[in-house]
Amino acid sequence: MHHLIFMKTKWLPSEIRDLKLEDALFVIQDELRVENISDEARDALSTFNLPSVAFLFEDFPEEDWNYRENSTFLRSLALKATQ
């Protein structure tokens, strides 16, 4: 995410690291649209049978964002999709 923000804004890495999660997501929200991802990524997402519900990023408190926990959850979904 930091790299994406840097490529979009050319801000200093220290400025990017100081962003709160919701501010960082606000900066890259245009890139987080399904129509902006590759066909391969779109196909991968479709295998998860996700609901077509949009969540506002402000609804997710900073303390709930733990990418290590999320990676475990996403890995389990990927394993189910391949079975």
39-75: b (≥16 Cβ within 10 Å) or e: eeeeeeeeeeeeeeeeeeeeeeeeeeeeeeeeeeeee
Paired tokens of 66: 């733990």
Tens-digit pLDDT profile for residues 36-76: 888 998 888 888 887 766 656 556 666 666 656 666 666 77
What pLDDT is recorded for position 24? Answer: 92
Total domains in the fold of the chain: 1
Mean pLDDT to the nearest integer, 18-23:
91
Range(s) of the domain holding residue 61: 2-82
pLDDT of residue 3 exceeding 70, the answer is yes
Q: Which residue has the higher pLDDT, 66 or 23?
A: 23
Q: Please give the mean pLDDT across all residues of the chain.
A: 80
Return the structure tokens found at 42: 């779109």
User: pLDDT higher for 73 or 8?
Assistant: 8
H or E element that contains 14: helix 13-17
